[in-house]
Structure 1
Amino acid sequence: MDGFWCLSSAQVEACEELLGPGIPVSYLRFGVDDKFFGPEEYSDSAVLVSFGNDRDRDWETYWSAAEVIARSRRSARVVGQGRRRDQSGSPDRVLSLGRITHADVRDWYRQSAVVGVATRPNLHASGMTVALEGMATGRPVVITRTPGIEDYVVDGVTGRLVDPGDHVAFAEAVIDYMNDPDLARCHGENGRRRVSEHFNTRSMCMRLAEIVGFGVVS
């Protein structure tokens, strides 16, 4: 190979060790379609949404946090794509969606107050796509703190990072945003700005062109 790229800075060292000397490894910032996932006026709807189904998604922690949120905020509604094993609790305000279209995903982002992603410990920045889509829409993101995810979500600036498996901390971070819509709006705007400047498909393709030797592409 002439080169190799990965999608978080935390993966670079691991890939270098795996590949051995002589193969340059580059960090390629992932990007989303910030036109399709365009900015939407912030909604203090008290709705939390989450999507994604890779092997490191931690839906058990997410749904446990959902019950804490539902008990704490009577107006809150929690929506997620993963299956709920326990259907007790607050079924009227905690909704499992299953498979839906990209357009439906976008609509849920627009209805949301917060976008959340719970993951197990991993090295592939699980959840970065959902985080960036939520940021592109102008929503704050609560996501599990794993190596490399800080490349995408800046704690206290565009969202909150919480420890793996800590459903209480996850719920508290979401509730803090629901209780402070001005802060949520500010962090959402910060996130939209970061996606527009650095984490969109245009920026990703330009950087990829540099990595593979095409030079800077306008």
Structure 2
Amino acid sequence: MPVSTKKLRSNRAWLERHLSDRWVKLSQKEGYRARSAYKLIQINEKEHIFHPGMSVVDLGSAPGSWSQVARKLLSRKDGTLDGRIVAMDILPMDPVEGVDFLQGDFREQSVCDQLAEIVGDDRVDLVMSDMAPNLSGIAASDASRSMLLCELALEFALDHLKPRGVFIAKAFQGSGYSQFVETVKRSFVKVQALKPEASRDTSPEQYIVARDLKKSR
């Protein structure tokens, strides 16, 4: 079926905006695989999350920009990794030195079990999720699928985080958003929503940063 002129114009406009984006240009200059690297960098600048020797799980990791940031922030002066990073995505991801990668659909229990096996019995310091569904353009459907990923990421975090661990998740404002934030607050002592400078103004995304599991867990 021929592509409509309207759609071609829309795609061309998006490409022009993308190529002129300051964070895209900076990511290309500094060797990050996506502009989203700067979202995590800016979150860390505000929250001081990363520290030497920590263990990290990166959910929805492809193309690997958050794993790249984590790898850089956990590097010793000689460049070796001081900590552990485990990444997972439904899409393939080019290797990041020192990062263990699992390809699979996080919505499937067998993949969650594989990830848990890789992580092992030791609790982790940080679970971070930049997962998002493929958007259909139908708001209610997209919001529902986004919340499912957030809930799965939260469930994994609650099962694997250390008592003083940190959970970061991308969530989209809309149906189910406020309920998800309240659910996170029931499990963590400190919870806040951030919108990094690198997030596009037009995006409804927020990053939920939660710290310290409540003792009742």
TM-score (norm 2): 0.43
Larger RCO (CA under 8 A, 6+ residues apart): 1
